Amino acid sequence: MVELREHERKMLITLQKLGGKASVEQLIEASGLPDAAVMRAALTLQEKKIIQTTEKKQTLAKLTREGGNYAKNELPERRLIAALKKLGGKASLGEVTGKAGLEKQFVPIALGWVQRKKWAVLDSERKNLQIQEKLEEGNDEKLLKLLSERHAVSVEELDRELQEAVRILKGRKLLEAEEKTRRMIELSDVGRGALKKGLKARDEITQLTPELVISGKWRKVKLQEYNIEAPVARTWPGKKHPYLQFLDEVREKLVALGFKEMVGTVVETSFFNFDALYTPQGHPARESSGAYYVEAPKYGSVGAYEHALANVKKTHEDGWKTGSRGWRYGFSVKETKRLVLRSHTTCLSARTLLSKELEIPGMYFSIGRCYRPEVLDKTHLTEFNQVEGIVVDKNLTLRDLLGVLEKFAIDIAGADKAKFVPDYFPFTEPSVELRAYKKGYGWIEFGGSGIFRPEVTSPLGIDVPVLAWGLGIDRLFMLKANIDDIRQIFAMDLDWLRRMEVV
């Protein structure tokens, strides 16, 4: 009598009933054991040379949603030919398609396949369709029926005709094929001998209960030994999204450097989003193609900032006392009240400069969602995150700004090197664009920066230099995570999320 654990005994008996050889999937179904239990038992039995396992790669074919629909309701060409048959075997295209009840987009498909299968002949001049004699069931229809009865089939086990049907249906996107490794388990001579001698399950327990402890029976029972090298089912514990984790890291690093966080609302007045940043009211960025305006309510209040508004208005019109000539147009107070989804987080910098809590010297940052009607592509989304920052102090220079930006690119985004390109923004002068490079990834543009112009700072009551930058933090993460498509960050790709490491 051979002593085995209960799962091992049950698996051997099941394997014997299945003829001594079966796949892991067949054993799981026939034994009723969990997949992890079967794999653990298989590992132990293989070590004892009671069974032997082999691996075989196979291609599994299964229906797509559209293929399942056709398996249930017939292919479009079969519906078309059935309608033609009911109409006497010859009819106009309009009559046949109407009788078949096909949707407009499926008519060319059905028409093409009835001719390819030689089920009917089309008279293109008279636009008539005439049935032919041979209407036997095609291999593609046979395969659809087979797949509707079974969840999946092994392509290698099909005959040559059905394998060709797999290629055809795959081309029509009615089925999908996936390569999988199939593990076969077979009884060895030792295993057959063990079965002849008889099997006995060990009297073991896997868990101590309060009753066993209180009664003292735990001293007499035998605890099951655990093989820590045995395979177990893969589990995916919950974790913070890698991008959210990255945002937290950036926030912590900035706070550690002495920056204070700026916060604000997503819906902003045009005063802070544009006017306070010296963006003229006729600027393209303020068109509907550059910003999302709120439909209702259309206007907000700027009454708490009347003094600053008056200064901004004068600066736009004639430069006020900034030394500038201004934009030379009639500033609209009504337009400055228009509500907009913030198109950048620089509006938070404007609010901070106007705040009574502003400290000079001071360093401030924000991480916030912004909105622009962009064309979606690998590097642009209509919703994106931006990291904004300002440094307010006497005697600040462009060199100080470049040092901050380089630290962002190399220390935070993990770039190998950074470079700066002259740029233009209505609210900064000089203006610089930050680009960073990572080996194997290439160069990527992060965003703009510069020193706020007097036309921005003076109307808000600031008389010292202000370094400012607004960087696409989504792109910072792309570089760090080696992602080449920004849409990947927000996609529900479980495989990618599972592969991303938790730091």
Tens digit of each residue's pLDDT (9 = 90 or more) over 164-210: 988 988 888 898 888 888 788 898 888 888 887 877 666 667 677 88
CATH (domain of 129): 1.10.10
In-domain check, residue 321: no
Rounded alpha-carbon distances, angstroms, from residue 275 to 15, 122, 263, 295, 367: 78, 68, 19, 20, 22
97 and 212 both lie in a single domain: no
Structural domain total, the chain: 3
In-domain check, residue 238: no
For the beta carbon of residue 85, count every other beta carbon within 10 angstroms.
Answer: 16
Query: Cα–Cα distance between 119 and 127 in angstroms, integer?
Result: 16
39 and 155 both lie in a single domain: no
Dihedral of alpha carbons 252, 255, 259, 262, sign: positive
371 and 395 both lie in a single domain: yes
Rounded alpha-carbon distances, angstroms, from residue 410 to 289, 308, 416, 434, 438: 34, 38, 6, 12, 9
In-domain check, residue 312: no
89 and 105 both lie in a single domain: yes
Sequence-distant (≥ 6) Cβ neighbours of residue 466 within 8 angstroms: 349, 353, 390, 391, 392, 396, 451, 452, 456, 457
Sequence-distant (≥ 6) Cβ neighbours of residue 251 within 8 angstroms: 261, 367
213 and 274 both lie in a single domain: no
In-domain check, residue 148: yes
pLDDT at position 344: 93
8 and 135 both lie in a single domain: no
- 380, with CB counted inside 10 A (0-12, 13-18, 19+), is middle
415 and 376 both lie in a single domain: yes
175-187, strands of its sheet edge to edge: 21-23, 175-187, 51-63, 153-154
469 and 409 both lie in a single domain: yes
Strand duo 51-63 + 153-154: pairing: antiparallel
Query: Cα–Cα distance between 322 and 499 in angstroms, integer?
Result: 54
Tens digit of each residue's pLDDT (9 = 90 or more) over 6-31: 788 888 888 888 888 888 888 888 88
211 and 156 both lie in a single domain: no
In-domain check, residue 43: yes
Tens digit of each residue's pLDDT (9 = 90 or more) over 210-256: 888 888 888 887 777 776 776 666 778 888 899 999 999 889 988 98
Domain that holds residue 72: 65-178
pLDDT at position 125: 73
In-domain check, residue 228: no
Rounded alpha-carbon distances, angstroms, from residue 10 to 40, 54, 98, 127, 217: 13, 20, 60, 67, 27
The residue among 360, 464, 475 whose CA lies nearest residue 413 is 475
87 and 219 both lie in a single domain: no
Residue finishing a domain among 223, 253, 284: 223
pLDDT at position 239: 85
Q: Tens digit of pLDDT per residue, the chain (503 long)?
A: 566 777 888 888 888 888 888 888 888 888 888 888 888 888 888 888 889 988 878 888 889 988 888 888 888 888 888 888 888 888 888 888 888 888 888 888 888 888 888 888 887 777 788 888 667 888 888 888 888 888 788 888 888 888 898 898 888 889 888 888 878 889 888 888 888 787 766 666 767 788 888 888 888 877 777 767 766 667 788 888 999 999 998 899 889 889 999 999 999 999 999 999 999 999 999 998 899 999 999 999 999 999 999 999 999 999 999 999 999 999 999 999 999 999 999 999 999 999 999 999 999 999 999 999 988 888 888 999 999 999 999 989 989 989 888 887 888 777 888 899 999 988 999 999 998 888 877 888 888 899 999 999 999 999 999 999 988 888 888 888 888 888 888 888 888 888 877 66
69 and 36 both lie in a single domain: no
360 and 442 both lie in a single domain: yes
In-domain check, residue 303: no
Q: Answer whether 0.75 is exceeded by the pTM.
A: no
In-domain check, residue 288: yes
SS3 88: coil
pLDDT at position 151: 79
The residue among 134, 139, 131, 149 whose CA lies nearest residue 68 is 149
Rounded alpha-carbon distances, angstroms, from residue 326 to 321, 354, 463, 486: 10, 21, 18, 38
Rounded alpha-carbon distances, angstroms, from residue 49 to 20, 188, 198, 307, 413: 14, 7, 16, 89, 53
DSSP state of 176: E
CATH (domain of 370): 3.30.930.10
pLDDT at position 502: 66
Residue finishing a domain among 153, 178, 203: 178
Give exposure, 297-336, as e/b (b: 16+ Cβ within 10 Å).
eeebebeebeebbebbbbbbeebbebebebbeeebeeeeb
